[in-house]
Amino acid sequence: MTGRPGDGPRPAPAARALAAPRPRVHPAAPLQVDVLLDGLTHPGRGLHTGQLHWRLHGPFDAERFTRAWQTVTDQEAVLRTALAPAPPGPGLPGFAVHPAAGPLIVRHRAGGATWEALLAAERMREFDLTRPDPLRIALLEESDGSTRVLLTYHRAFLDPAGADHLVRSFHRVHAAPGRPRGGERRPDLRDHLQWIGSRDPAPARAYWADAAPPAGSATLPAGDRGRPTHQRGHGRTRQRLTPAEAARLRAWAAARGAAESTALQAVWTLLLYRAHGGPGPLPVAFAAAVSGRGIPLDGADRLPGPLLGALPVAVEVRPGATLSALLADLTGRAVDLAAYEWVSAGQVHRWSGRDPYEPLTASVLTFLPPQEPRAPADPAVPFPQAAGADRESAGASDAGASDAGASDAGASDAGPVEAWEAYTGTPLALTARHDADGGLLLTLVHDRTRIADGDAHEILWQTTRLLHHLPAEAGPGTTVAEALRALDGIPVPLAAPRPDPAPRTLRPAAAPDSGLVCLLRPPGAPEDCYDGLARRGRGRRALLSVAPGATAALTALAPALAAGVPVVLGGYPEVEGLAHEVARRVAAHGWSRPPVAVAATGRDLAGALTAAGRKRIKPYSSGS
């Protein structure tokens, strides 16, 4: 049986939202644009859906649980945020902060769904980004009387650190006796956007024009398979270093002036070189996660939002160079990245001058801090703070305060919070985090269309083998080539080629902001079926021809959508249904719905495309 706690309707604030003042709209942050584009160009359920879960022991008070989450929702603007309706014409998506919303809570009774089935179902259930529900809460009653709590959130609104801050705020409110008080938290994402808007982008643009990975860099720790994997979706594999092994790795890196995260990057760099290198030097590239919270904005370290990004790291690997030199090189790159945590990967790609359809990297490494302690069962005990942690910012600092004399009926003992990393369009995503015992847990998420399950397992096993081997065997003078001898005789994993061919450029744009016309080839049609259109006129917009399929079309549109320039979809009548499907998907991710032009002849199609590019585009609505 499923239903909301108490089997009642959504709390009153959501109902009052219809009569409330109009929501406040702000433009999408660069990182949000990246997430929306990644979800747009990689259709599939479960992308950018993160999860946190924990167990509540003891009596469960549904009313108190709901009231605590309502308090957090009232205080946190991000929980009242949704995609704003797209205005007519070109431009970037906007987000609307609604004045009121209610937590979306579903309760599953004991004996119903299994925990594993609930995790998978919530992860694969699509978010409606136009509703202020960026976080869903599912409750599962257990036969022993405990209650499992599952939070599922979308990365366009929250990152793991932001979700973790919300859980801490909930525990603080839930543990406090009486009626909580406190206003809306500041800073929020709007303050972060204002801070970004005050930055001069010129230094960042100049840096990344030079520091972006060069063409031809090795980006996957796997050789060319030359054939598809015949697998779909995403996979996940894990390995663990014991506490003693993790401590030895940390000491080995520190002796060379590097962090533990840098040692992991060095091992990944070795695997990239091994998969593609020869006897000489080779540039390699991967993305390294940056928190986005190490910026000089007061309260940014506690700001719930999508601040976690990933920036490219490019190094040249020389087989005769020492590991100490490689670690020093990577440490220097980490220092450089710290100055640009507010920059998104999409901006870096545009500033790099590289082909917009050629990814700069194909893997991302994330080293997360250890989980902090949770709220105690006894609300009289102060909420535990991490060493050196500040109090909550003004406006939300009293979230855990209460009126004196109130009772504490219904408090539960909260177990440790566990995380489930979100799937993305990146072929490989490696996350490292210390567990409660001090061991180092490595989780590799892979796109199964590019990396088969067996190859992903082999990549992570080789990563772990080098993390074991280097602290025990590598001395100050050990070279890259010598370090890789630990993998002698072990096959190089394989990767499948990218499934969709790059679009054919029939005509370049007359200017960067001229726009794009994307022509969808009918199934079975020759690649040159639209070449006559390019010869027929001198239009200002770029003219592309793409393979039949939604993914190929959306990938072709992505650079123009990222730049906020106008786009038109078109082709012969056989692709009309596909074109409208692509247009609907674009609109569902916050952009204005692009016009579609189809005609049976080249002459008529040219005229239809011209007319479509001139007409005013109506805002897309889900009812159209």
**What tens digit of pLDDT does each residue of 293-331 get?**
999 999 898 899 999 999 999 999 999 999 999 999 999
Of the ranges 17-21, 84-88, 203-207, 403-407, which is most confident?
A: 203-207
**10/107 same-domain check:** yes
393 belongs to a structural domain: no
The residue range of the domain holding 339 is 196-369+426-493
DSSP, residue by residue, 332-387: HHHHHHHTTTT--HHHHHHHHT--TTS-S-SEEEEEEPPPPP---S-TTSPPP--T
511 and 451, same structural domain?
no
Per-residue pLDDT of 256-265, as tens digits, reads 999 999 999 9
Length of the chain: 624
Residue recorded with tokens 């070795």: 270
Q: Is the pLDDT of residue 448 over 90?
A: yes
Kindly give the interhelix angle for 243-254 and 260-276, rounded to the nearest 10 degrees: 90
- The pLDDT of residue 180: 61
What CATH number does the domain containing 588 carry? Answer: 3.40.50
At 21-48, the pLDDT tens digits run 788 899 999 999 999 999 999 877 789 9
Question: Which domain-ending residue is among 493, 515, 535?
Answer: 493
Q: Which pTM was predicted? A: 0.87
Instruction: For residues 167-179, give the mean pLDDT.
Output: 85
CATH at residue 340: 3.30.559.30
Whether residues 251 and 357 share a domain: the answer is yes
Co-location of 284 and 158 in the same domain: no
Does residue 107 sit within a domain?
yes
Alpha carbon 387 to its chain centroid, in Å, reads 28
Mean pLDDT over 149-160 rounds to 96
- Asked if residue 150 and residue 228 are part of one domain, the reply reads no
In a domain, 568, yes or no: yes
**Count of domains in the chain?**
3
Whether residue 410 is predicted with pLDDT greater than 60 in this model: the reply is no
Instruction: Please write the tens of the pLDDT for every residue from 331-387.
Output: 999 999 999 999 999 999 999 999 999 999 999 999 987 765 444 433 333 333 332
Residues 462, 555 within the same domain: no
Mean pLDDT of 405-424: 63
Query: Is residue 358 one of the residues assigned to a domain?
Result: yes
- The reply to whether 175 and 211 lie within a common domain is no
344 and 430 share one domain: yes
> Does 406 map to a domain?
no
Domain for residue 378, yes or no?
no
Q: What is the mean pLDDT of residues 93-105?
A: 94
The reply to whether 348 and 225 lie within a common domain is yes
Backbone phi and psi for residue 366, each to the nearest 5 degrees, phi listed first: -130, 130
Q: Do 314 and 256 fall within a single domain?
A: yes
353 within 8 A of 149, measured Cβ to Cβ: no
User: Do 437 and 516 lie in a common domain?
Assistant: no
Where among 146, 162, 185 does a domain terminate? 185
Query: What is the pLDDT averaged over residues 264-269?
Result: 98
pLDDT at 289 over 80: yes
Please say which residue of 185, 217, 239 terminates a domain.
Answer: 185
Same domain, 82 and 37: yes
pLDDT reading at 52 higher than 70: yes
